[in-house]
Amino acid sequence: MPDIVETAVSAGSFRTLVTAVQAAGLVETLKGPGPFTVFAPTDEAFAKLPPGTVEALLKDGPKLKAVLTYHVLAKRVTAAEALAMTEKGQEVHVPTVQGAPVRIRSEGMLRKHVKVNAATVVTPDVMASNGIIHVIDQVILPPGA
């Protein structure tokens, strides 16, 4: 089974994310043993950012690394586990590799949709050898970014 980076590359819809991971020097980390949970914004999600944002991030290594590691948990969390954590409509705060927590909650009819901050998980549970990827519809930014 491919690792998180190989899975993202082969999907074809994460070109911007893969470029950013390479620019931030995080490829070896995300190819490591993990386990990791990655909330992966698609190319379309990156395109929703204000014009010039991606280019500015690619030129600012520390800020880019902070934004990317804010999308990563240092543990494996499936969508079912995330929904179980948010039973009764409550939200939970889960620490990211960056340090600041993300808010995870459930929404929708029967609370079957996972939200991470303002992003919606559009494709859950993409398995990789060293963790799991949840495809999200927008880039999430850490506090102060």
The domain ranges of the chain are 4-136
Q: What is the pLDDT of residues 84-95, one digit of tens each?
A: 887 666 788 999
User: 121 CB contacts (<8 Å, ≥6 apart)?
Assistant: 39, 79, 82, 113, 114, 115, 134, 135, 136
Q: What is the pLDDT of residues 22-36, one digit of tens each?
A: 999 999 999 999 899
According to the CATH classification, is domain 4-136 in 3.30.70.270?
Answer: no
User: 33 CB contacts (<8 Å, ≥6 apart)?
Assistant: 130
Say if pTM beats, i.e. exceeds, 0.75: yes
Q: What are the phi and psi torsion angles at 85 (to 5°)?
A: -65, -25
The per-residue pLDDT for 113 is 79
The per-residue pLDDT for 137 is 96
- Enumerate the β-bridge partners of residue 38: 72, 133
Asked whether residue 101 carries a pLDDT value surpassing 60, the answer given is yes
- The dihedral sign for the CA sequence 34, 39, 44, 48: negative
